[in-house]
Amino acid sequence: MEDHQPSSNIASTIFHDLRKQILSGKLAAGERLPGERELATHYGTNRNTLREAVRRLEQARLVSVRHGQGLTVADFRRSGTMELLVPYIDVATELRDVVQLMEDILPARIMVLEFASRLAARRATPTDVQRLQDISDLLVAAFDRGDPVVVAHGFQRWLEALIDAAHSLSIRWIANPFLDAYRQLMDRFPALWILDPSFPSHLAQFMAAIDKGDEEEAVKSTHDYYAKIDDELLRALGVAIELGVHLDDARSEAQAEVAQGPSATRGL
């Protein structure tokens, strides 16, 4: 394997394999991993490449490395961060687990967006407002022609522009994990995100508030839209649980829905 792949690619393969085993429970919290030499032999690589994979696992808080004790699997449910959200959903076998995760994380996302909206209404420069308006116009045009792919990807740019308009380092740092998780979730599970017919009017209302510097109206527009969308999403997932839908089937159906076209337009 070393002769055909760069060491960085091999390290990534090892990292993803071990991360999957840990998140799926195949490797349990507190379990000791084999030593470096044994792991390197198992993956057909050298110890330097293996150490790079281990370093990434340690950064993700999935393992702890202690001198004389080797590698120990960490309790990711306590030590993990937002970067594990998508990998965890990737390996989840029960839709109920995903729903509980979404129930917990969606209110936190609304709080971040509300505060970003408030600060943007207070601090946005004319350049910020124009950038948001330009992206909004593109989004509405894509929505009107029934192009969910452009809407979904364009909305990533819109969220980035909103966070930039807040001009807050702390909000940027808090928002980054949510934005990263959104990007990954959109790529893997596009049907998780519902784009409501009221989306264009929401953008218009929000932009009017930002243009006037009306903090309360900006926050209200953000809260009302996302609370509605989140309720719809959780209700749909709840129905899927009642019907006994398996998560793998839900993934397949989600991909099929998006492939069918704009009848079920999706976004964050």
Residue whose pair of structure tokens reads 């934005």 in the numeric block: 179
Domain boundaries, the chain: 7-78, 83-264
Tokens of 186: 């959109």
Residue 2's nearest CA partner among 71, 54, 48 is 48
CB 38, CB 73: distance < 8 Å: no
Q: Which of 57-61, 151-155, 215-219 comes out lowest in average pLDDT?
A: 151-155
Residue 196 in this model has a pLDDT that exceeds 70:
yes
Share of the chain above pLDDT 70, in %: 84
For 91, the enclosing helix (H) or strand (E) is helix 85-91
What is the domain class of 83-264 according to CATH? mainly alpha
Amino acid 118: pLDDT:
98
Query: What is the structure's pLDDT at 150?
Result: 84
Topology of 7-78 in CATH? Answer: Arc Repressor Mutant, subunit A (1.10.10)
Q: What is the pLDDT of residues 241-266, one digit of tens each?
A: 777 666 555 555 544 444 444 433 33
Instruction: Map tokens 């394999």 to a residue.
Output: 17
Pairs from 226-229 (Cβ < 8 Å, separation ≥ 24): 226/106, 226/109, 226/110, 226/113, 227/110, 228/196, 228/198, 229/194, 229/196
Task: List, for residues 116-149, the tens digit of each pLDDT value.
Answer: 999 999 999 999 999 999 999 999 999 999 887 7
What pLDDT, on the 0 to 100 scale, is given for residue 79? 93
| 153 contact partners, CB below 8 Å, separation of at least 6 | 186
